[in-house]
A = this chain, B = another copy of it.
Amino acid sequence: MVYTAVLGYGVVGSGVVEVINKNRDSISMRAGDEIAVKKILDIRDFPDSPDKELLTKNAEDVFGDDSISVVVETIGGIGVAYQFTKRALEAGKHVVTSNKELVATHGPELLKLAKEKGLSYLFEASVGGGIPIIRPLGQCLAANEISGITGILNGTTNYILTQMRREGKDFSEALKEAQLNGYAEADPTADVEGHDACRKIAILSSIAYNEYVDYRKIQTQGITKISLTDMQYAEAMDSVIKLVAMSRKQEGRIYARVSPAIVRKEHPLANVEDVFNAIVVSGNALGDAMFYGRGAGKLPTASAVVADVIDIVRHAGSNSANTWKMPEKDNMMDPQEVNGRYFVRIRVRNQEEAARVVNSAFGDVSWVKANNINLEDELAFTTPRATEKVLEQGLSKLKGIGSIRETVNVIKLLED
């Protein structure tokens, strides 16, 4: 019998207890041993919980109990969760978590500590909910040099963008709808500003490239500025707008970015709708592989946590090979030097004159005309492929020109 403790009895934590109870037989068959929850630590009261016999407010009941060998941390955040994770590892207990914020922030330190202690620190559930992605990246694709990851990693924003495109709702309406359905929190900042996706792409990139990618260095832009008009232009380009998290490794340096992107409809990510997530991984032997499923939710996320627990039980201590090398120098590419193409919308006073200015600022642009949009005071175009620096130089040339009022929006095109 292997005893675990669950720290934090919220949505995911209670889901973990539920999955362990519900699938007891198949879990013990897979793990080669029975797995049981011995304690649940939470400072709150849950008088009606079916698990109330296991609940405790006293951390010592967990950390002081030598029979508990695996701790599940589903507290979230980087305060108490960080303290408790260190304390668990120092007490000789393996730790499994769904806490992307903690992994993205203190991953290198916690992985190192786990390794020193001969323990595992596993976090399959931190990215992609129930979609297996962390372990496939680290293990199944281990024979590949991974060159890139491109994903839809945040279900909330994907739901909002899907509602906008399909139902013609504007951003704030679609956000309200997401909140009503429980897909967005009361304070939606972390989702809609891209912070959640940013931490996730940082974790995936750290595993894929085997060195720590600091989420604080990732260019991050959310979806709050995306309008229905932008979507109509995208449609005219036979594309959709998605919040894309991506990273590439080129010549030893890493480029990572979270931003809205215009995605051609034939791209596999274009069909990923509603709260679903998908991750495309590019390897030098494999080519591209895609992983798709529900990126959040109580039981999917809990099932990923429990899979990590099973892995620990099966492999008893031989899991800790993953440590993230801290880069000796800055390992990130200068975003200004990264090539790309952009969709640009500008408000103009005089279309013909403005068009001449645009052509001289950007070179050969492609004009985008949308069926339903016939704004005399607007022009839309895609730029030739160039660095972000050149793009910004182009945009700055549009300023202070009489025929041009302002730049309305700039959205990157997703290229392969």
Contacts and interface: CB of A to CB of B under 8 A. Distances in A.
Contacts of A268: 271, 292
A140 B27 CA distance: 12
B141 A132 contact: yes
A19 B140 CA distance: 14
B318 A316 contact: yes
Contact of A307 (B29, B32, B124, B142): B142
A289 interface: yes
Interface residues of A, number: 57
A146 to B, nearest CB: 8
Given A143-B306, A303-B285, A26 B321 contact: no
A314 B303 contact: no
Contacts of A31: 142
Nearest to A316: B318
A292 B293 contact: no
A138 interface: yes
Interface string A286-330: 111111111001011011111101110011101001000000000
A140 B290 contact: no
A310 B144 CA distance: 11
B289 A293 contact: yes
A286 B315 contact: no
A145 B26 contact: yes
| Tally of this chain's copies | 2
Nearest to A325: B29
B303 A138 contact: no
Given A142-B31, A143-B27, A285 B299 contact: yes
Interface string A16-33: 000110110011011110
Interface in A47-81: none
A360 interface: no
B142 A30 contact: yes
A404 B377 CA distance: 66
B32 A140 contact: no
Given A23-B144, A140-B304, A143-B306, A293 B297 contact: no
A288 B284 contact: no
Contacts of A291: 289-292
A210 B26 contact: yes
A139 interface: yes
A135 interface: yes
A131 interface: yes
A222 interface: no
B141 A307 contact: yes
Given A136-B135, A210-B29, A23 B289 contact: no
A304 B142 CA distance: 9
Contacts of A285: 15, 19, 22-23, 130, 299-300, 302-303, 306
Interface of A: 15, 19-20, 22-23, 26-27, 29-32, 124, 130-132, 135-136, 138-145, 210, 268, 271, 283-294, 297, 299-300, 302-307, 309-311, 314-316, 318, 321
17 contacts: A19-B285, A23-B145, A23-B285, A26-B142, A29-B210, A30-B142, A130-B286, A140-B304, A143-B304, A143-B305, A143-B306, A285-B306, A288-B294, A289-B293, A289-B294, A290-B290, A314-B318
What are the 9 A-B residue pairs with the smallest beta carbon separation, nearest first? Answer: A132-B140, A143-B306, A289-B293, A285-B303, A290-B292, A130-B286, A30-B142, A285-B299, A132-B136
Given A26-B145, A135-B136, A143-B302, 11 more contacts: A19-B143, A26-B210, A27-B143, A132-B140, A142-B311, A286-B299, A286-B300, A287-B293, A287-B299, A290-B291, A290-B292
